[in-house]
Amino acid sequence: MPKVTMPSRSDLKRTWEFVKEPLITVAFVLIATTAIARPYYIPSGSMEPTLQIGDDVVTAKYAYGYSRYSLPFALGPSSAHRLLERIPKRGDVVVFIPPSEPGRNLIKRVIGLPGDRVQMMAGRLWINGKELPLKPAGTAQMQNADGSYSTVPKFTETLPNGVTHSILKWRDNGFMDNTAVYVVPKGHLFMMGDNRDNSLDSRVPVDAGGIGYIPVENLVGHAQVILGSVDYLSASGVWAWPAELRVARFFKSVR
């Protein structure tokens, strides 16, 4: 029977020295992406003009505390409350995981907080019985799914807490422009895209292709800054991406 030789202390020490730095690096990356920040790529135009297709957004994961959705693969028990929980403010742009699609990250703007009454009438947004101020702000270029651009009206909307942000709105008679009153349940948020006529958001129930109300537990983080941006839809291939970099969007704050 062959003799089993146990590794010596010097062998173990050499092995540790060999794997120490890679392990520390992996641990740091896991901690950083779980607890501090993580980049997210924008694949659609539902948040135009604030975010464009091809933006790479850094999200602060500590902003609202932590839940199982802060962990890789949403490991951990479900809970109605987050560790170090902080409720977002109206106007925050957040990354979250819709309950209907647990493997998908979405990004929208927080419009309604728990208890709020939200409604669309003739294309205008109402919160708690008051119509939000909407000021014309010229036009913007909206990118279509085929890479082409359309010129659409842009407006500045003011939320009840004084936060202002830009939206795109080119009609007032779509199926999301006249709705019933949505009463945001306890522990949930009402999300909307800034591209109001091109966003299946909390105005649309899950069974109709929307996302419904979003539990606070499902928040991932607060979008803070655009790390980089490339107009890949206009590029002829990966080799052409450098020519389509949107340098002016690099390190731009998300507001």
Active site residue 108: yes
Structural contact between residues 114 and 106, judged by C-beta atoms closer than 8 angstroms: no
Catalytic, out of 46, 67, 70, 202 = 46
Catalytic, out of 61, 108, 154, 169 = 108
β-pair partners for 117: 183
Active site residue 44: no
CA distances for 8 relative to 11, 12, 40, 254, angstroms: 5, 6, 46, 55
Catalytic residue IDs: 46, 108
